[in-house]
């Protein structure tokens, strides 16, 4: 149990600090409520009205999200691998090459769907 005491202490301290900050913002923060404050913000212009059915997002949004996820997963796995590269066996190196090739397939799909074209 003793190795977990510092971790529990940090969790308790961060939860306490979070509660103090939320309470402080409620009491100290300005309270100027108006219609403009609660309107959605879209790059400094008035938001466009939505169609009756709620509207559909263009596929471009999903392709951008997919590209972000692929890049994020790639960084999350490549960074620790690169740090310990000199201590790894040939099997791990080959496994990472296969992983990068699979990511290249995702990037190629993204490229073919037009996700890398910024109009």
47-56 tens-digit pLDDT = 666 666 666 6
Q: Is residue 42 part of a domain?
A: yes
Residues of the domain holding 95 = 2-112
Contacts of 60 (CB under 8 A, 6+ apart): 114, 115
117 lies in some domain = no
Domain presence at residue 29: yes
- How many distinct structural domains can be found in the chain? 1
Instruction: Say which range, 30-44, 61-75, 82-96, has the weakest mean pLDDT.
Output: 30-44
Distance CA 37, CA 41 (A): 9
Assess if residue 118 is contained within a domain. no
Q: In this structure, is residue 24 part of a structural domain?
A: yes
C-alpha dihedral sign at 32, 34, 38, 42:
negative
Q: Rounded CA gap, 66 and 111, in Å?
A: 12
> What CATH number is associated with residue 6?
1.20.58
Can you read off the two tokens belonging to residue 29?
A: 């923060």
Is 80 inside any structural domain?
A: yes
């Amino acid at each position: 149990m003793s190795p977990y005491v510092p971790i529990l202490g940090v969790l308790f301290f961060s939860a306490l600090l979070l509660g103090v900050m939320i309470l402080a913002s409620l009491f100290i923060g300005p309270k100027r409520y108006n219609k403009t404050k609660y309107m959605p913000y879209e790059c400094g212009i008035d938001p466009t009205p939505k169609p009756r059915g709620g509207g559909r997002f263009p596929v471009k949004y999903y392709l951008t999200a997919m590209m972000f996820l692929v890049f994020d997963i790639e960084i999350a796995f490549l960074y620790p691998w690169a740090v310990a590269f000199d201590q790894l066996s040939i099997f791990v190196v080959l496994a990472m090459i296969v992983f990068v090739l699979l990511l290249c397939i995702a990037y190629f799909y993204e490229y073919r769907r037009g996700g890398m074209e910024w109009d």
